[in-house]
């Protein structure tokens, strides 16, 4: 079974970069993309991903609100927050609300990819798939 990933960011360039970088990861499938909070939740419900990558600053409700709603629907889904605003208060708020990872977009793209590669290489998929 492939690791199913949804990417939520209002920047086309960021989404394209992540799709390109993640496209090189075997056993991974990008099942959806969204540029705002409303589309993010629609794609999440429709595609039932294992992992959602969410930017904090997106149109509509912010990424923290999207995080809360995702975790309310399915706590087993891994949520990775990416941001250009890596302030301690954002990190703390995200982690308190269920974020599994928090990365700075300006210099931690490789960490995002490495984290997801580790998920693919672990038994993560089987454990998360059963939660849907």
Domain residue spans of the chain: 3-126
Q: What is the pLDDT of residue 122?
A: 84
pLDDT tens digits along 2-48: 999 999 999 999 999 999 999 999 999 999 999 999 999 999 999 99
pLDDT band per the 50, 70, 90 thresholds, residue 124: low
- State the pLDDT at residue 128: 58
Q: Could you read off the pLDDT of 72-115 as tens digits, one per residue?
A: 999 999 999 999 999 999 999 999 999 999 999 999 999 999 99
In this structure, are strands 28-34 and 101-104 parallel, antiparallel, or unpaired? Answer: unpaired
pLDDT at 129: 56
Contact 8, 129 (CB under 8 A): no
Question: What pLDDT, on a 0 to 100 scale, did the predictor assign at position 28?
Answer: 95
State the pLDDT confidence band at 123, using cuts at 50, 70 and 90: low
Alpha-carbon span 32 to 12, nearest angstrom: 13
**What is the rounded radius of gyration, in angstroms, for the C-alpha atoms of the chain?**
13
Question: Hey, which CATH number is domain 3-126, 3.30.2230.10, 3.40.50.2300, 3.30.70.100, 3.40.50.720?
Answer: 3.40.50.2300
């Amino acid at each position: 079974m492939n690791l199913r990933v949804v990417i939520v960011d209002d920047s086309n360039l960021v989404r394209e970069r992540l799709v390109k970088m993640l496209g090189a990861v075997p056993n991974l499938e990008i099942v959806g993309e969204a540029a705002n909070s409303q589309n993010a939740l629609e794609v999440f419900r429709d595609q039932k991903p294992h992992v959602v990558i969410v930017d904090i600053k997106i149109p509509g409700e912010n990424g923290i609100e999207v995080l809360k709603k995702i975790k309310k629907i399915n706590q087993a889904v891994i949520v990775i927050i990416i941001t250009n605003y890596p302030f301690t208060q954002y990190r703390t708020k995200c982690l308190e609300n269920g974020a599994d990872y928090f990365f700075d977009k300006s210099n931690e793209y490789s960490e995002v990819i490495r984290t997801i590669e580790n998920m693919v290489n672990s038994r993560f998929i089987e454990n998360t798939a059963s939660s849907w």
